[in-house]
């Protein structure tokens, strides 16, 4: 019998050499050298079972043993001598190939419909050839060589695609206005200034399939008669910017961008403009100011961008996801696209699913899919046996949707009725341990920071909203504060110029509407039911409830909890840094 | 050097050549294609270390011709870093939660020897994508 101990570089780092020596010594001490031969397998013959090491192979049985320790040596040798199966728990027995699910059988990928993300992780984003292999630039070729601008707009109209940036404005209306505007210079601009916390759809598209956005823009340019375009991408997306630049260079090289595209005589030049990351620059007019080199501030509408946009020229501005959808609409037809979805929202929508949910990632579903399907089937539900509390949709301009509305279909109108917005697609799931006052405070902090300052109600009002929320969080809230929140919110909504200001109070209002009791608990009872607001917590251990498990003691980063076996823990309040780790770790709700 | 496309046929020629060359099933230049999903989410989860090990492993051998690709996010960020391995005549496998050790194992066992490391795998992938079996695809009569 032969025992081969894998003893390459990686295995040695995990202690295989010690195991080899222990086995050799053990065989000698049991006097069975003639029956068991222990040899080492070095780097040159390494089979590559790196994750199993220290590991060994027994011949002639062919069994591989993983995670073998020095202390296993005596038992292993003895069992081998007695011809018993040694260390059965450590036998490496991987599952069968058939047990690996097909991608479309998995809970996560199964219910999805990959249209916008059709090339996700399938192609090399730095190779235009691979994009072309997946029918890339066929839509642009068709639009430029075989279609009149009116036909392109008609196809987009039939598809009924609505802008994916958030507001859901029908793309064909914008394009038609752009095409009808009279000017020798027109612009096509792509809004890649994705700024909502929890949103990463556009980034993924730009990083994984940049050519789809380029192609969509070329088609739009042809439809409105534009010869120059900009992609406004935030500088915080360096990989997206790099891959876009490569994509533009490659498309220029193949004559799919630049002058005389595909020999048609049609020119379209494209350049990237890097924004410095201001949230307000995701607003159309502020974005255009930013490209013009001015301070990123919105202006009143009208005039609409399609009449007077970038550099006072007619401009069609759409977001990344909208443009990425356009090529397939041209290739497969608007009718095909509108075959999926609800009455007023057609096609698919990409969401960035994150927060307290098992499967985090990009989710593309047909319009009309329920939020429950997205969160519980695709997302796999809430981890750690916790209960669902709410889902935040639409970022700082959106709202929270509580459990009662989970069967709501993904549809621009239906979601607005639930006091949230579809938004660009950020979907943050929150479990029962989330404090809604804290959540509203977080978003208000974000917004007052990002307010451009042009309109007083937004600049000052959001600061005052934040003050009130801070007060409530810190146990200084008054009953009148809830009315103040509501009336001030109404002022801000009514008197702000841009969408950012008008929707700034939405996170507060929607939290207040669905979770008013929680606000009242903070104000009247001076309690935070979710135990997230340190000022309302006592940091005291209830000896009745304490199970003396020591979890809080072990995890306290400041080491201020005293605990001994069979005794309840105690927190030194003087030294406590109020990090809430003990609250999260305690499974018995013993910390008050 | 790229030649400019001046008509649809030029585009079609590129498509023909590229679709043959992007798959290990039909390529004449490589037998296996290994893709490390290196979007920002993958990179944050450690995809660069996986890529470094992969490149080192590829250069250490001359048994199998391997094409290494750095591509975008496959969609399931919580299973990153992901690696997809395609070998001639075999089902394509996507691996999850990769690190340097797992990459080395997948390379030496699967890429070189065709032994799928099932315990590390997330899913088997078909070239046609999920739409093939999607109920909505059926609904639109395709």
B22-37: pLDDT as tens digits: 989 999 899 999 999 9
- The b/e string for A172-193 (b: 16+ C-beta within 10 A; e otherwise) is bebbbbbbebeeeebbbbbbbb
Q: How confident is the model at residue A460, as a pLDDT?
A: 96
Report yes or no on A531 lying in a domain.
no
Strand A187-192 to A315-319 pairing: parallel
Q: How is residue A317 annotated by DSSP?
A: E
Q: Which of A525, A550, A575 is at the close of a domain? A: A525
pLDDT, position A423: 84
The domain that holds A552 is classified in CATH as: 3.30.70.20
Pick among A132, A210, A244 to test the B interface (most B CBs inside 10 A): A132
> What is the residue-level pLDDT of chain A in tens, covering all 592 positions?
899 999 988 899 999 999 999 999 999 998 888 888 999 999 888 889 999 989 999 888 888 999 999 998 888 888 888 877 666 778 899 999 999 999 999 999 999 999 999 999 999 999 999 999 999 999 999 999 999 999 999 999 999 999 998 889 999 999 999 999 999 999 999 999 998 888 999 999 999 999 999 999 999 999 999 999 999 999 999 999 999 999 999 999 999 999 999 999 999 999 999 999 899 999 999 999 999 999 999 999 899 999 999 999 999 999 999 999 999 999 999 999 999 999 999 999 999 999 999 999 999 999 999 999 999 999 999 998 999 999 999 888 889 999 999 999 999 999 888 888 888 899 999 999 999 999 999 999 999 999 999 999 999 999 999 999 999 999 999 999 999 999 999 999 999 999 899 999 999 999 999 999 999 999 999 999 999 999 999 999 999 999 999 999 999 999 999 999 888 899 998 999 999 999 989 989 899 8
Which of the two residues, A513 and B131, has the higher pLDDT score? A513
> Is pLDDT above 80 for B140?
no
Q: Considering only residues 30 to 89 of chain B, which have any Cβ-Cβ distance to chain A shorter than 8 Å?
A: 35, 37, 39-41, 43, 69-79, 82, 84
Q: Which of A48, A106, A208 sits opposite B72 (nearest CB)?
A: A208
Average pLDDT over residues B81-96: 94
Answer yes or no: do A419 and A440 share one domain. no
- Do A340 and B40 make contact, defined as CB atoms within 8 angstroms? no
- Best mutation site among A124, A134, A142, A367 for testing chain B: the one with the most B CBs within 10 Å? A124
> Quick check: A357 and A375 in contact, CB under 8 A?
yes
Q: Which domain holds residue A572?
A: 538-592
Distance CA A215, CA A141 (A): 9
pLDDT at A184: 95
Q: Into how many domains does chain A fold? A: 5
Round the CA-based radius of gyration of chain A to a whole number and report it. 30
CA distances from B50 to A209, B57, B96 (A): 22, 11, 11
Chain B residues with beta carbon closer than 8 angstroms to that of A137: 11
Instruction: Examine the domain organization and report whether A440 and A426 are in the same domain.
Output: no
Partner-chain contact A121 B104, CB within 8 Å:
no
Domain check: are A455 and A469 in the same one? yes
Which residues of chain B have a CB within 8 Å of the CB of A10?
Answer: 101, 104
Closest CA in chain B for residue A260 = B6
Mutate to test the interface with B, among A67, A98, A109, A427 (most CBs of B within 10 A): A109
Q: Are residues A387 and A293 in the same domain?
A: no
Contacts of B75 in chain A (CB under 8 A): 108-109, 112, 117, 120-121, 361-364
Question: Mean pLDDT throughout B79-102?
Answer: 95
CATH of domain B29-139: 3.40.30.10
Q: Is residue A144 in a domain?
A: yes
Contacts of A132 in chain B (CB under 8 A): 11, 14-15, 18
Please check whether residue A357 is in contact with residue A434, taking contact to mean a CB–CB distance below 8 angstroms: no
Pick A150 or B3 by higher pLDDT: A150
* Same domain membership, residue A137 and residue A29: no
Nearest-Cα distance to chain B for A242, in Å, is 12
In a domain, A112, yes or no: no
pLDDT grade, residue B142 (50/70/90)?
A: very low
At which of A397, A431, A465 does a domain end? A431
* Nearest residue of B to residue A210, measured between CA atoms: B72
Q: What is the pLDDT of residue B141?
A: 36
User: In terms of CA atoms, which chain B residue is nearest residue A14?
Assistant: B101
Same domain, A498 and A561: no
| Cross-chain CB nearest to A366 (options B76, B126, B136) | B136
The confidence band for B138, taking pLDDT boundaries of 50, 70 and 90, is very low
Whether pLDDT at B139 is above 60 = no
Is A111 inside a domain boundary? no
The partner residue sitting opposite A141, judged by closest CB among B3, B11, B69, is: B11
Give the CATH number of the domain where residue A460 resides. Answer: 1.20.1440.230
B72 vs A94, A110, A125: nearest CB: A125
With beta carbons under 8 A apart, name residues in chain A contacting B122. Answer: 100, 106
Q: For the sheet with A269-275, list strands across it.
A: A269-275, A228-234, A187-192, A315-319
A44 and A57, same structural domain? yes
- Element spanning A464, H or E: helix A456-473
Residues B134, A104: C-beta atoms closer than 8 Å: yes
Q: Is residue A370 part of a domain?
A: yes
Inter-chain touch A104–B105, beta carbons under 8 Å: no
Distance CA A68, CA A66 (A): 6
What pLDDT was estimated at residue A79? Answer: 84
pLDDT at A469: 97
| Residues A407, A372 share a domain | yes
Q: What is the pTM of this model?
A: 0.92
Residues of chain B positioned with their CB less than 8 A from the CB of A207: 39-40, 72-73
Residue A13: HSE in the Cβ half-sphere, 13 Å Cα cutoff:
7
- CATH number assigned to the domain comprising residue A390: 3.10.20.600
Choosing from A68, A90, A112, the residue where a domain stops is: A90
Q: Is residue A332 part of a domain?
A: yes
| pLDDT for A240 | 96
Same domain, A291 and A203: yes
Query: According to the model, what pLDDT value does residue A272 have?
Result: 97
Position A477 scores a pLDDT of 94
Contacts of A133 in chain B (CB under 8 A): 15, 18-19, 21-22
Provide the mean pLDDT of chain B: 87
Residue B62's φ and ψ, nearest 5 degrees, are -135, 30
CA of A428 vs chain B CAs: smallest distance (Å): 14
Asked if A447 and A426 sit in the same domain, the reply is no
Tell me if A121 and B102 make a contact (CB, 8 A cut-off). no
Same domain, A491 and A510: yes
Q: Please indicate, yes or no, whether residues A286 and A240 belong to a single structural domain of this protein.
A: yes
ipTM metric: 0.91
* Model pLDDT, residue A351: 96
CB–CB of A102 and B15 under 8 A?
Answer: no
């Amino acid at each position: 019998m032969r025992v081969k101990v894998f003893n390459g570089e990686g295995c040695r780092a995990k202690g295989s050499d010690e195991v080899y020596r222990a086995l050799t010594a053990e065989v000698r001490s049991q006097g069975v050298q003639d029956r068991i031969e222990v040899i080492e397998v070095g780097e040159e013959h390494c089979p590559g079972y790196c994750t199993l090491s220290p590991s060994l192979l027994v011949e002639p049985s062919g069994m591989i043993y993983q995670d073998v320790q020095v202390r296993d040596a005596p038992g292993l040798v003895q069992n081998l001598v007695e011809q018993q199966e040694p260390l059965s728990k450590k036998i490496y027995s991987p599952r069968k190939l058939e047990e690996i699910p097909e991608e479309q059988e998995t809970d996560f990928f199964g219910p999805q419909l990959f249209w916008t993300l059709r090339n996700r992780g399938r192609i090399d984003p730095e190779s235009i050839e691979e994009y072309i292999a997946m029918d890339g630039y066929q839509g642009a070729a068709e639009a430029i060589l075989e279609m009149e601008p009116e036909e392109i707009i008609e196809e987009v109209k039939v598809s009924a695609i609505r802008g994916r940036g958030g507001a859901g404005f029908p793309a064909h209306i914008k394009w038609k206005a752009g095409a009808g505007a009279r000017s020798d210079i027109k612009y096509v601009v792509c809004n890649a200034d994705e700024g909502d916390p929890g949103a990463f759809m556009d980034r993924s598209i730009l990083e994984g399939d940049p050519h789809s956005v380029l192609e969509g823009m070329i088609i739009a340019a042809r439809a409105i008669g534009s010869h120059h375009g900009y992609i406004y991408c935030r500088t915080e997306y360096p990989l997206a910017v790099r891959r876009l630049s490569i994509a533009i260079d490659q498309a220029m090289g193949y004559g799919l961008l630049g002058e005389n595209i595909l020999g048609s005589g049609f020119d379209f030049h494209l350049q990237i403009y890097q924004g410095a990351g201001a949230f307000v620059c995701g607003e159309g007019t502020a974005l255009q100011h930013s490209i013009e080199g001015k301070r990123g501030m919105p202006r009143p509408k009208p005039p609409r961008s399609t009449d007077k946009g970038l550099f006072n020229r007619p401009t069609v501005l759409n977001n990344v996801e909208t443009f990425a959808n356009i090529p397939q609409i041209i290739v497969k037809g608007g009718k095909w696209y509108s075959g999926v979805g609800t009455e007023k929202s057609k096609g698919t929508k990409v969401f960035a699913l994150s927060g307290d949910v098992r499967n985090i990632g990009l989710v593309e579903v047909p319009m009309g899919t329920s939020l429950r399907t997205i969160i519980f089937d695709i997302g796999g539900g809430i981890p750690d046996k916790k209960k669902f509390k709410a889902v935040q949709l639409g970022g700082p301009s959106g709202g929270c949707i509580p459990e009662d509305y989970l069967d709501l279909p993904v549809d621009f109108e239906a979601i607005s009725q639930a006091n949230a917005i579809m938004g660009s697609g950020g979907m943050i799931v929150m479990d029962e341990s989330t404090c809604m006052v804290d959540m509203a405070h977080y978003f208000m902090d974000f917004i007052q920071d990002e307010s451009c300052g042009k309109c007083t109600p937004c600049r000052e009002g959001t600061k005052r909203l934040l003050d009130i929320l801070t007060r409530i969080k810190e146990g200084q809230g008054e009953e009148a504060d809830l009315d103040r929140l509501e009336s001030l919110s109404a002022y801000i909504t009514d008197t702000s110029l841009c969408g950012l200001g008008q929707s700034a109070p939405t996170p507060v209002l929607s939290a207040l509407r669905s979770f008013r009791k929680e606000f009242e608990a903070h104000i009247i009872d001076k309690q935070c039911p979710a135990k997230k607001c340190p000022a309302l917590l006592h940091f005291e251990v209830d000896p009745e409830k304490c199970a003396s498990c020591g979890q809080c003691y072990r995890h306290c980063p400041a080491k201020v909890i005293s605990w001994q076996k069979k005794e309840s823990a105690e927190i030194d309040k003087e030294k406590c840094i109020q990090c809430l780790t003990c609250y999260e770790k305690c499974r018995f709700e013993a910390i008050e | 050097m790229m030649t400019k496309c001046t008509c649809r046929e030029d585009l079609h020629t590129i498509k023909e050549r590229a679709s043959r060359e992007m798959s290990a099933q039909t390529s004449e230049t490589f037998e296996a294609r290994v893709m490390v999903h290196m979007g920002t989410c993958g990179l944050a989860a450690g995809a660069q270390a996986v890529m470094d090990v992969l490149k080192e492993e590829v250069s250490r051998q001359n048994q199998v011709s391997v094409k290494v690709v750095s591509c975008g996010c496959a969609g399931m960020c919580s299973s990153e870093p992901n690696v997809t391995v395609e070998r001639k005549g075999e089902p394509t496998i996507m691996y999850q939660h990769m690190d340097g050790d797992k990459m080395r194992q997948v390379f030496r066992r699967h890429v070189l020897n065709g032994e799928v490391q099932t315990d590390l795998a997330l899913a088997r992938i078909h070239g046609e994508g999920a739409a093939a079996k999607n109920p909505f695809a059926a609904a639109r009569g395709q």
